[in-house]
Amino acid sequence: MSMTTACSLDCYDACSIEVVDDKLKGVNNPYTQGFLCPHLNHYDQHPRIESPRYKGEHITMDEALQLLENACAKVSTPSQLLAYRGHGNFGLMQEVTDHFFANFGATLTEGSLCDGAAEAGILEGRGANKLLSPEEIAKSEVVIVWGRNIHTTNAHLLPYLKDKTIIVIDPVKTQMAERADHFIQIKPKGDLYLALLLGRFAVINDMVDEAFLQEHAPEHDDYYELTQTVRIKAILDNIDVSLGDIGKVLELVKGKKTVILAGVGIQKYRHGADVMRAIDSFAALLGLFGKEGCGVNFLGNSKEGLKSPFMSKHKTKPVTVGNAEFGRFEMAFIQGANPLNQMPDTNRVQKSLAKNPFVVYFGLYENETSEVADLVIPAKSFLEKDDLRTSYGHHGLLMMPKVRESDIGISEYDLTERLCQTFDIDLESELSYLEHFSSFAEAREDDLLVSGREALPYVDGFETDEEVFCFLEEYELELAEDDDLFLITVKSASSLNSQFKRETKVHLNASHGFLEGEKIKISSQNGELILKVQLDERLRDDCVLIYSGTSGVNVLTDSRLSYEGKNAAYQENKVKVEKC
Ligand SMILES: Nc1nc2c(c(=O)[nH]1)N[C@H]1C(S)=C(S)[C@@H](COP(=O)(O)OP(=O)(O)OC[C@H]3O[C@@H](n4cnc5c(=O)[nH]c(N)nc54)[C@H](O)[C@@H]3O)O[C@H]1N2
Ligand SMILES: Nc1nc2c(c(=O)[nH]1)N[C@H]1C(S)=C(S)[C@@H](COP(=O)(O)OP(=O)(O)OC[C@H]3O[C@@H](n4cnc5c(=O)[nH]c(N)nc54)[C@H](O)[C@@H]3O)O[C@H]1N2
Ligand code: SF4
Ligand SMILES: [Mo]
């Protein structure tokens, strides 16, 4: 028997899956093109948490739920319960737990560990974060891949990029950089200046779209003035970009349908919102918004056009997810997340979790967080419960019906239903929520899309207060001149953040004099860790790379958030390396 569902993982691609004789296969639709990635090809090989546990002892699910209810009932005031939800599963029904916690009066989180800085920049400039679909990207002639590692994180977009002129801007020589028509191996954190200078030279070279600017972006002269504050030679030397690079980019995009694919790499800094705005500003000068085959694609708002049936806000003030103080609460409910590995500043998180008297971990796999939790509740996997999802990479609305029975775990809906019954909170049937979300679907040939979205985003203008594009107006950025190394911490091919097969090494090139496999100490002002070396000639001399999910990586990062967007800023700290 065969059934169709969709991958639940936090990924641009949101693939459709055919389950044939219990095996997972990629569906041959426009997004999935018949293949899945290693995570899903080996999905069933990763050991699950099979039974609930309390203080290390196995217990029944009913006992676990009873303990959960007792703990909720015992907090001195509901806001003393922190509900911390990650995106281990991207399904829309995952948020049903927010409904209970918000009604109960618990403290929820706001902000992001992921894309919040650039999203804040997009909202300021464009008023709404609309995604540019693969179908539109396919109509472009030139693609600028800016801080995004498409072969690893977004492989199903590759067929849409065939035969295009490719420009890559990245400190790492990625697979896409290998095949690019032009590659700028920029110094990390240099993007704001590069974007400002591209804008300035686009004006000098008469490449701006006057008609577009007049109608949609009237403040362009002010922006041009802002770009003139950049001291060209000193800055280009600092960010390791040449005037030739700028000339080459402008020559390649001139008169061409151009798309910029920006990834989270550009915005892992406190000033991340400004970087995105400067990139958007360059695009606006060229008139790239609202035109066929043109635009700027970041992680789009996957919820655009949907209305949540769940209560997710309450008068209790939320805490920011990037620096949540677990220790300030009497209870923490952690769902679909591994904060002890993925949040910045692991040493702080560890101490903070240790101070919390009742930590609940609700997830699929054992990890750093499940290890310290008082109560561990296994979840059902996406194959074992009903859900549906949207994506930040395409407009699909994908059904995720249950395709397997399992005795392991509990679904988010069933757990919520039990809590709502106990605490007398209204909850509708699971089916009615599934139908609610399904009602936002519109049929295309053989798949479903979120209805009402513009196929060509911003074709009717922008959604800012003045309904025009708002250029970046000011910036402040000091570029350090020390000899410390930049920390690049990005996604690996074998893991999905901390799920599946994690990387274990520190990557650097041979110029530092270390040998392959040698153990070295990496330290930042925040902490230190020891890892084995993997020599990696894709890197600049001034960078080390440690993949997301590597045990201990976030000992090096700190809890300061982005200036806008309340986002974690994983690459703000520089590091030193030494023999140990
Ligand atoms: N295989 C796999 N796929 C994933 C994930 C995973 O863990 N594994 N995670 C998913 C998630 S949660 C997300 S948010 C997406 C993110 O996917 P991407 O947007 O691709 O993000 P990253 O892999 O973090 O980084 C992308 C690129 O930014 C570059 N970069 C780093 N610093 C800078 C800089 O200062 N300037 C510039 N120009 N570039 C820089 C890096 O070298 C890297 O090539 O991927 C999703 N897909
Ligand atoms: N150093 C460094 N740190 C990073 C990043 C980086 O690039 N570098 N990236 C950041 C980014 S972009 C992101 S998005 C975050 C991600 O951070 P997290 O959201 O914490 O991601 P994961 O570590 O993958 O943890 C996901 C958890 O979800 C659980 N899970 C999976 N499916 C289900 C389900 O159906 N139900 C329930 N209840 N649980 C489930 C799994 O057990 C897993 O432990 O990390 C951030 N942290
Ligand atoms: S993780 Fe991404 S690429 Fe892999 S199957 Fe899921 S949606 Fe597709
Ligand atoms: Mo993310």
Residue 375: name the closest of 94, 104, 67, 97 by CA. 67
User: Look-up: residue for tokens 């029944």?
Assistant: 60
- The answer on pLDDT for 567 being more than 80 is yes
CB 531 within 8 A of CB 512: no
Q: Taking the alpha carbons of 243, 172, 129, 295 in that order, is the dihedral positive or negative?
A: positive
What ligand 3 atom has the least distance to the C-alpha of 26?
5
Cβ partners under 8 Å of residue 217, min gap 6: 284, 285, 468, 469, 471
Cβ partners under 8 Å of residue 461, min gap 6: 215, 216, 290, 467, 468
Q: How far is the CA of 563 from the centre of ligand 2 (A)?
A: 23
Report percent pLDDT > 90 for the chain: 98
**The CA-based dihedral angle spanning residues 38, 41, 46, 51, taken in that order and rounded to the nearest 10 degrees:** 130
Q: Is the CB of 367 under 6 A from ligand 2?
A: yes
pLDDT of residue 24: 98
Task: Give the mean pLDDT of 301-317.
Answer: 94
**The CA-based dihedral angle spanning residues 463, 286, 187, 477, taken in that order and rounded to the nearest 10 degrees:** -50
Of the bound ligands, which one is closest to the alpha carbon of residue 13? 3
Q: Is the CB of 157 under 6 A from ligand 3?
A: no
pLDDT of residue 232: 97
**Angle 512-514-520 (CA atoms, 0-180°, nearest 5)?**
105
CB 228 within 8 A of CB 190: no
- The answer on pLDDT for 471 being more than 90 is yes
- The answer on pLDDT for 481 being more than 90 is no
Give me the residues paired with residue 16 across strands. Answer: 6
pLDDT of residue 446: 83
- The answer on pLDDT for 1 being more than 80 is no
Q: How far is the CA of 152 from the centre of ligand 1 (A)?
A: 8
pLDDT tens per residue across span 47-75: 999 999 999 999 999 999 999 999 999 99
- The answer on pLDDT for 2 being more than 90 is no
Q: CB count, 10 Å around CB of 228? A: 12
Give the CA count within 13 Å in the CB-facing half-sphere of 498: 24
Chain centroid offset of residue 184 CA: 23
**The CA-based dihedral angle spanning residues 23, 40, 297, 563, taken in that order and rounded to the nearest 10 degrees:** 140
CB 34 within 8 A of CB 27: yes
pLDDT of residue 466: 97
Burial of 22 (0-12, 13-18, 19+ CB in 10 A): exposed
Of the bound ligands, which one is closest to the alpha carbon of residue 49? 2
The structural domains of the chain, ordered by start, are 2-111+304-449 (3.40.50.740), 116-297 (3.40.228.10), 485-579 (2.40.40.20)
Query: Could you tell me the two tokens for 448?
Result: 């479903």
pLDDT of residue 171: 98
Task: Give the mean pLDDT of 355-383.
Answer: 98
**pLDDT bucket at 498, cuts 50 / 70 / 90:** very high
CB 408 within 8 A of CB 378: yes
Task: Give the mean pLDDT of 314-325.
Answer: 95
- The answer on pLDDT for 101 being more than 80 is yes
Q: Measured between alpha carbons, how far apart are the two ends of the chain, in Å?
A: 57
Residue 340: name the closest of 332, 351, 325, 350 by CA. 350
Give me the residues paired with residue 109 across strands. Answer: 319
pLDDT of residue 133: 98
- The answer on pLDDT for 128 being more than 80 is yes
H helix or E strand, kind and range, residue 412: helix 412-422
Residue 471: name the closest of 282, 306, 320, 271 by CA. 282
Q: How far is the CA of 554 from the centre of ligand 1 (A)?
A: 16
pLDDT tens per residue across span 376-388: 999 999 999 999 9
Q: Is the CB of 555 under 6 A from ligand 2?
A: no
- The answer on pLDDT for 333 being more than 80 is yes
Of the bound ligands, which one is closest to the alpha carbon of residue 342? 2
Query: Could you tell me the two tokens for 567?
Result: 């986002």
Percent helix, strand, coil in the chain, to 5, is: 30, 20, 50
Average pLDDT, the chain: 97
The one-letter amino acid at 530:
I
Q: How far is the CA of 309 from the centre of ligand 4 (A)?
A: 24
CB 398 within 8 A of CB 448: yes
Q: How far is the CA of 12 from the centre of ligand 3 (A)?
A: 8
Task: Give the mean pLDDT of 252-265.
Answer: 98
Q: Is the CB of 409 under 6 A from ligand 1?
A: no
| Atom 21 (ligand 2) nearest CA | 337
Cβ partners under 8 Å of residue 95, min gap 6: 85, 308, 310, 312
Q: How far is the CA of 466 from the centre of ligand 2 (A)?
A: 38
Task: Give the mean pLDDT of 313-342.
Answer: 97
Number of helices (H) and strands (E) in the chain: give both, helices first: 18, 28
Q: Taking the alpha carbons of 231, 234, 240, 244 in that order, is the dihedral positive or negative?
A: positive
- The answer on pLDDT for 139 being more than 90 is yes
> Cα(283)–Cα(60) distance, rounded to whole angstroms?
57
- The answer on pLDDT for 32 being more than 90 is yes
pLDDT tens per residue across span 482-497: 999 999 999 999 999 9
Q: CB count, 10 Å around CB of 354? A: 12
**pLDDT bucket at 175, cuts 50 / 70 / 90:** very high
Q: Which of 13, 144, 149 to mutate to test the pocket of ligand 1 (most atoms within 8 A of CB)?
A: 149
> Cα(506)–Cα(517) distance, rounded to whole angstroms?
10
Query: Could you tell me the two tokens for 115?
Result: 């894309």
CB burial string 412-424: b at 16+ within 10 A, e below: bbbbbbbbbebee
pLDDT of residue 385: 98
pLDDT of residue 314: 83
Query: Could you tell me the two tokens for 179?
Result: 């095949």
**pLDDT bucket at 145, cuts 50 / 70 / 90:** very high
CB 254 within 8 A of CB 110: no
Is the pTM above the cut of 0.85? yes
Query: Could you tell me the two tokens for 335?
Result: 């769902």
Q: Which of 31, 37, 158, 299 to mutate to test the pocket of ligand 3 (most atoms within 8 A of CB)?
A: 37
